[in-house]
Amino acid sequence: MARPDGTESARPGPVLGDLVRRGPQGRVAVLLRHAEREGPNVERFVPVDEEDWRLTPEGEAAARQFGSGLPEFRTVRLRHTPKGRTQRTAERIAEGFSARWSGSRADVAGVDPELALSVISSRDDDGRRRWMERLGPDFFNGWVRGEVPADVLVPAPEAVGRLLRHLHAQLVGAAESSLQLAVAHDVSLFVVTEVVFGRRTPPRPWAGFLEGIVFEPAADDRLRLVWRGEERTVLPRVLP
């Protein structure tokens, strides 16, 4: 979420309200951007694998607030990318949830490399960096548009299909009244929303800190996604 001066707010995004309105029944997953980190708070191009800023004190507090604001799921399972800022976000969320709901369990399950979408999709790391330099701030839009060669980076629809099947499998195997929280980066959310919800001109604003996409299992092995009030239902196994 943005502050009046155009920088990003450390406060939890609207996905927390979506989860509160939904309640703790059933099975749900969220692909969540990490909490506020050090470094620039205005949008600028920084490759996700090039920096590992720490969370700000405001970010640490906001992640705990996010956890304490969650409904009383019986189980919350948190996974994160290899970056420290996503791990610390997951840990602070677990702390906040456990402090409020002593009868429930919040487990930080550790690293899930599938969540770092642009890194796990790389077929040529040197080539990916060259294309990052070539396209600059437009690199991820270029990936979605199909401008990055497939021998450098898995095409965006294929990468998103892989991630959605991964999240769907976690949901199918989860118990009732459970939340699967996947703490990742704005890049992963951007590519998923552009592929699933359709590209916009101009593009949608990127995800703010602690903003996320809600995933729920639907009939016939489908997956229901909710993002900023929009809904889509997809069949993950038929995506590229």
Q: DSSP per residue over 72-131, as a string?
A: --SEEEEEE-SSHHHHHHHHHHHHHHHHH-TTSEEEEEEE-GGG-HHHHTBS-HHHHHHH
Q: How confident is the model at residue 50 (pLDDT cuts 50, 70, 90)?
A: low
Q: Answer yes or no: is pLDDT of 43 > 80.
A: no
Q: Answer yes or no: is pLDDT of 7 > 90.
A: no
**DSSP code for 232:** E
> For the residues 134-146, what does the mean pLDDT come to?
92
CATH code (residue 103) = 3.40.50.1240
User: Is position 82 within any domain?
Assistant: yes
User: Is position 4 within any domain?
Assistant: no
Q: Which of residues 42 and 240 earns the better pLDDT score?
A: 240
Token reading at 52: 């590992």
**What is the sign, positive or negative, of the torsion defined by CA atoms of 145, 148, 150, 156?**
negative
> For the residues 216-220, what does the mean pLDDT come to?
93
**DSSP code for 136:** G
User: Is position 9 within any domain?
Assistant: no
User: Is position 90 within any domain?
Assistant: yes
Backbone phi and psi for residue 220, each to the nearest 5 degrees, phi listed first: 60, 40
Query: Which domain, by its residues, includes 132?
Result: 15-238
What gap in Å lies between CA 53 and CA 38, rounded to an integer? 5
Q: What is the pLDDT of residue 137?
A: 86
Domain total in the chain: 1
Q: Which of residues 239 and 31 earns the better pLDDT score?
A: 31
Output the CA–CA distances (angstroms, integers) from residue 130 to 24, 60, 174, 231, in the order listed. Answer: 45, 34, 40, 36
DSSP codes of every residue in 6-20 = SSBPSS--THHHHHH
Q: Answer yes or no: is pLDDT of 79 > 50.
A: yes
Q: How confident is the model at residue 21 (pLDDT cuts 50, 70, 90)?
A: very high
| 76-80, 106-110, 202-206: least confidently modelled range | 202-206
Mean pLDDT rounded to a whole number for the chain = 88
Q: How many CB atoms lie within 10 A of CB 88?
A: 20
> For the residues 26-38, what does the mean pLDDT come to?
95
Q: How confident is the model at residue 118 (pLDDT cuts 50, 70, 90)?
A: confident
> For the residues 111-135, what does the mean pLDDT come to?
91
Q: How confident is the model at residue 42 (pLDDT cuts 50, 70, 90)?
A: very low
**Does pTM surpass 0.75?**
yes
Q: What is the pLDDT of residue 6?
A: 40
Percentage with pLDDT > 70 across the chain: 87
User: Is position 184 within any domain?
Assistant: yes
User: Is position 182 within any domain?
Assistant: yes
pLDDT, one tens digit per residue, over 88-115 is 999 999 999 999 999 999 999 999 999 9
Q: Is 132 helix (H, G, I), strand (E, B) or coil?
A: helix
User: Is position 3 within any domain?
Assistant: no
CB 26 within 8 A of CB 177: yes
User: Is position 8 within any domain?
Assistant: no
Sheet with 222-227: list strands edge to edge.
Answer: 105-111, 75-80, 178-184, 27-33, 212-218, 222-227, 230-234
Q: What is the pLDDT of residue 2?
A: 41
Backbone phi and psi for residue 191, each to the nearest 5 degrees, phi listed first: -65, -40
Q: Answer yes or no: is pLDDT of 34 > 60.
A: yes
